[in-house]
Structure 1
Amino acid sequence: MDLVPTPVGKAGITWYPAHGPTRAVALLGHGMATGVEAADLQALAADLPRHGISVALVTQPYRMSRTRSGSDEASLDAVWQALWPIAADLGVPVISGGRSAGSQVACRTAEQLGAHAVLALAYPLLGPGSPEELLATGRPTLVLQGTRDPFGRPDQFPALPPEIELIEIPNANHTFDTRGSVPRSTTMDRITRATSQWIEQQLTRA
């Protein structure tokens, strides 16, 4: 893990380099309840490099220090802005994203930072996120949402513009746990396959 100074403390970046030439970078953040060890983030970190996508999993400073200080929206966004040049300086498209609170950070900062696209895993639509925050990304956006997510089921989302695609993950809750109704490996495969195909589309269009 690389330690990087930010305005609110040191953040961590764990890199999973692309296999072969790097076609893009996926800069992904964690949620409030879990860190980068979350199953969906780890599945993407294992899969996307096979498609030429380097993955950078970001651990926010508040989690590095194991405190709640620096977990407010302004601090989270400031960290993302501080880390962004590290990914952007690689000279390839940057997909900004994350799970839950991490997806909110990506949505709020995408237009300002010039993200190529936004990946939102388990977006907390019913709070602390909002439809307005999601709709304001200004970039092509993929939302992967469990059909049992208490923070917003797919059928609770508003009508979405063409640039925002919503994919349902059957029987999954906010952490994409299906309580055994669907094998964990099947759920993770759905997530990685949908994400890699969508990123491929964004890179092709570019």
Structure 2
Amino acid sequence: MEVMTPRGPAVVEVDEPERARLLLVLTHGSAGGVDAPDLLAVRDAALERGAVVARVMQAFRIAGARAPGSPDRQDEAWAAVLSELRPRWPDLPLVQGGRSNGARVACRTAKRVGAAAVVALAFPLHPPGKPERSRADELRGAGVDVLVVNGDRDPFGVPDPVDAARLVIMPGEGHDLKKDPARVGEVVAEWIFHYAL
């Protein structure tokens, strides 16, 4: 389905189980899409356990941009998508998340959209080679519990365990988390259903 935001249309792909227990809304990184291996694995694992899974292709990507623009503009567009989705499943707990830049958006907007928790895949702690430009404040500022799943070889760094409710480091994985996406899906589904239900 298409959702109009202040930054143009976003496109949402929704998968629903027979009996829904939770709403999980996921998004992509700056230059990626909603078919990234880790996002698909999370969708599959969460759907199997009873989550409605909505994967959001953000407005900036639909417009053809590779960069998301300012955080304020991106967060405004994300909140518009959630305001459209949330009323469709008003009685389900909401967990939101994403990979890389999408994880940042999910952390920054969690309280604003009423999320119970955040899933941060490949959270980009800092630009590659620039650890002094830490984004840990976005994790700490989420205002809800955050699950972080990062590879131990991620050039964007690995967050400190104290900055998340749970940090899972995947051995041998880089920023794309594509060596064992099924394991990523299992870790996320186990955490969100244990945490949110």
The answer, yes or no, to whether TM exceeds 0.5 is yes
Kindly report the root-mean-square deviation, in angstroms, between the aligned alpha carbons of the 2 structures: 1.7
In structure 2, the partner of 1:25 is 23
Conserved 8 A contact 1:25-1:87? no
1:1-206 equivalences in 2 (<5 Å):
2-18=1-17, 20-68=18-66, 71-89=69-87, 90-91=89-90, 92-127=92-127, 130-153=135-158, 157-160=159-162, 164-177=165-178, 184=179, 187-204=180-197
TM-score (norm 2): 0.90
Q: CA deviation at 1:189?
A: 2.1
Question: What is the aligned-residue identity percentage?
Answer: 34
Q: Which runs of 5+ in 1 are unaligned?
A: 178-183
Flag the structure with more relative contact order, 1 or 2, with Cα contacts below 8 A and sequence separation at least 6: 2
| 1:35-85 Cα deviation digits (max 9, x unpaired) | 112111111222211110011110111211213575321221011110112
Conserved 8 A contact 2:34-2:57? yes
TM-score (norm 1): 0.86
Hey, what's the Cα distance between the residues in 2 that align with 1:70 and 1:9?
13
Hey, what's the Cα distance between the residues in 1 that align with 2:155 and 2:196?
32
Q: CA deviation at 1:118?
A: 0.3
Q: What is the DSSP-based 3-state SS (H/G/I as helix, E as strand, rest coil) of the residue aligned with 2:109? A: helix
Q: In structure 2, give the amino acid aligned to 1:76.
A: Q
Q: How many residues align?
A: 190
